């Protein structure tokens, strides 16, 4: 095969095949080669044209729905001041919110700038293998990492973020690369968060001043970065964010068409809905709608509840109070209500500037993992049932599993039922319905009271023999409405 790099028509091929006229580097030539290989596999396949109607029809790769639980790691230069939240720069310099301004005035020398924080992102304790082990032990199946937040600092040595990246300043490391390698070793799916816009990038501000009739920022920054991330790190998920302009400005449909048709990850890649002011909760892969979206009822399209263990912030806060963190009971309640309604849950933890993850976050993740170990069959690969929560007993959520030709319904109760658990929604059948309590042996007795439903008798369980804490799961087999 002739070396494609020898052809001087290459720039023209690139322009024709790729909607972006980025400057050619050897890296881009590599993209073109990959494109040609994929094109052969693709022969006869239907390609996705760059419009939302067509892109929205792409089936979501199955791994995502089955995985249910992801960990969201928000880490960047804002992790250095680590007060209030990750919007620090914007709230200090653009919005000039007094508490941010005061904090800087009181604690830093005059003239201190936000970029001055970057060298202090030391990461001296960062061991991404340790992070990956922690995430694995939480029971999560994917991890989403902030490769670039709205501050514009790239956590990989991007060729499109000169001197404002983790190789040039601060850690002097390819954080994305290290983390991706560690996650793959632990069989965790890799999600890359990427902010389309940047608060203070002059090119973005100029496009904005032009009412987004120019695309200088998109052409020279956003798109080259996204291609670079995909081609270098081959993610399973792109979690796009920060889109205060229409998707036509961002060229989102063109990027997604490339991602789904030709990219090296076209079969497994999953995306979200934050691709422009016109797309949130409407277009894209799964829907995130708003932050901490948890509607409490079944949704028509696959969705994700992106939420935080620190209720106040996504980035690390040194000044956080204990009661601002979700308790494990609250966290399990969020997980269970989300999954019952067909959602995935993306749980945020916030590392410190030095690469450590505080013990409180670690504890929540480990607690979650211990609960999931006992109750995994009700969670991973499950589907929403007919009823999402019980019609009579509060704080009972349902999931369903297809086990070969049989179905099992799982009732997950957030209140310890003591002697009896009455459920109104399941319709039992005498001699055909069997009830099990996950983490214990044997079947449970039940009766069918006159008002309908099922009344389950709990065995006596000594406190130290309790299979798990915080929420308890009952498997119901052979229901009439199973």
Ligand X SMILES: *[C@@H]1O[C@H](CO)[C@@H](O)[C@H](O)[C@H]1NC(C)=O
Return residues touching ligand X (CB under 6 A): 19-20, 25-27, 157-159, 210-211, 215, 218-219, 223, 228, 232, 251, 254, 296-297, 389-390, 392, 394, 420, 422, 449, 455
**DSSP bridge partners of 40:** none
Closest contact distance (angstroms) between CB of 211 and ligand X is 4
d(CA 105, CA 100): 9
Of residues 420, 407, 417, 413, the one with CA closest to residue 448 = 420
Residue with tokens 């209500």: 337
Closest contact distance (angstroms) between CB of 296 and ligand X is 3
Nearer to ligand X, 211 or 464 (CB): 211
Closest contact distance (angstroms) between CB of 158 and ligand X is 6
Closest contact distance (angstroms) between CB of 394 and ligand X is 4
Nearer to ligand X, 67 or 229 (CB): 229
Closest contact distance (angstroms) between CB of 15 and ligand X is 9
Closest contact distance (angstroms) between CB of 447 and ligand X is 6
Nearer to ligand X, 86 or 390 (CB): 390
Closest contact distance (angstroms) between CB of 210 and ligand X is 5
Nearer to ligand X, 39 or 395 (CB): 395
Cα separation values, 125 from 121, 355, 366, 413, 443, Å: 11, 5, 20, 40, 49
Nearer to ligand X, 331 or 421 (CB): 421
Angle 475-477-481 (CA atoms, 0-180°, nearest 5)?
A: 110
d(CA 482, CA 400): 8
d(CA 374, CA 242): 38
Closest contact distance (angstroms) between CB of 460 and ligand X is 14
Nearer to ligand X, 140 or 473 (CB): 473
Of residues 404, 401, 328, the one with CA closest to residue 68 = 401
Burial class (CB in 10 A: 0-12, 13-18, 19+), 260: buried
Of residues 253, 238, 313, 250, the one with CA closest to residue 64 = 238
Nearer to ligand X, 140 or 414 (CB): 414
d(CA 285, CA 298): 17
Nearer to ligand X, 51 or 481 (CB): 51
Nearer to ligand X, 19 or 467 (CB): 19
Of the chain, the end-to-end C-alpha distance in Å amounts to 58
CB closest to ligand X, residue no: 296
Nearer to ligand X, 119 or 449 (CB): 449
d(CA 319, CA 83): 6
d(CA 470, CA 361): 17
Closest contact distance (angstroms) between CB of 200 and ligand X is 20
Nearer to ligand X, 119 or 296 (CB): 296
Q: How many CB atoms lie within 10 A of CB 251?
A: 22
């Amino acid at each position: 095969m002739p070396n494609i790099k020898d052809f001087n028509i290459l720039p023209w091929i690139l322009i024709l095949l790729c909607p972006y006229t980025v400057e050619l580097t050897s890296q881009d030539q590599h993209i073109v080669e990959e494109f040609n290989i994929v094109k052969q596999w693709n022969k006869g396949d239907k390609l996705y044209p760059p419009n939302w109607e067509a892109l929205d029809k792409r089936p979501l790769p199955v791994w995502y729905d089955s995985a249910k639980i992801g960990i969201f790691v928000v880490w960047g230069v804002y992790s250095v001041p680590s007060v209030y939240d990750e919007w620090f720069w914007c709230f200090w310099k653009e919005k000039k919110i007094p508490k941010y301004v005061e904090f800087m005035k009181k604690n830093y020398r005059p003239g201190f700038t936000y970029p001055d924080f970057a060298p202090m992102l030391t990461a001296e304790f960062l061991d991404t293998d340790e992070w990956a082990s922690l995430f694995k032990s939480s029971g999560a199946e994917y991890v989403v990492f902030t490769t670039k937040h709205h501050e514009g600092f790239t956590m990989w040595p991007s060729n499109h973020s000169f001197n404002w990246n983790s190789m040039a300043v601060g850690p002097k490391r390819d954080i994305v690369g290290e983390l991706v390698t560690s996650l793959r070793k632990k069989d965790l799916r890799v999600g890359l968060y990427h902010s389309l816009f940047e608060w203070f990038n002059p090119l973005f501000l100029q496009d904005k001043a032009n009412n987004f009739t120019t695309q200088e920022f998109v052409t020279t920054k956003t798109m080259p970065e996204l291609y670079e991330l995909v081609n270098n790190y081959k993610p399973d998920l792109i979690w796009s964010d920060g889109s205060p302009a229409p998707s036509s400005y961002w060229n989102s449909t063109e990027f997604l068409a490339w991602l789904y048709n030709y990219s090296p990850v076209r079969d497994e890649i999953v995306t979200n809905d934050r691709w422009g002011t016109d797309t949130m909760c409407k277009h894209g892969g799964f829907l995130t709608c708003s932050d901490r979206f948890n509607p409490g009822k079944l949704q028509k399209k696959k969705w994700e509840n992106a939420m935080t263990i620190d209720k106040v912030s996504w980035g690390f806060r040194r000044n956080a109070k204990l009661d601002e963190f979700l308790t494990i009971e609250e966290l399990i309640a969020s997980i269970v209500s989300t999954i019952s309604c067909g959602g995935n849950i993306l749980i945020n933890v916030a590392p410190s500037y030095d690469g450590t993850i505080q013990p409180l976050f670690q504890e929540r993740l480990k607690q979650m993992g211990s609960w999931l170990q006992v109750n995994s069959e009700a969670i991973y690969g499950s589907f929403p049932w007919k009823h999402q929560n019980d019609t009579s007993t509060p704080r009972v959520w349902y999931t369903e599993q297809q086990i070969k030709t049989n179905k099992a319904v799982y009732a997950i109760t957030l209140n310890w039922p003591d002697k009896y658990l009455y459920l109104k929604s399941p319709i039992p059948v005498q001699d055909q319905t069997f009830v099990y309590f996950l983490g214990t042996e044997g079947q449970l007795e039940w009766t069918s009271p006159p008002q309908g439903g099922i009344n389950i008798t709990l065995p006596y369980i000594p406190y130290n023999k309790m299979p798990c804490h915080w929420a308890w799961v009952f498997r119901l087999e052979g229901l009439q409405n199973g």
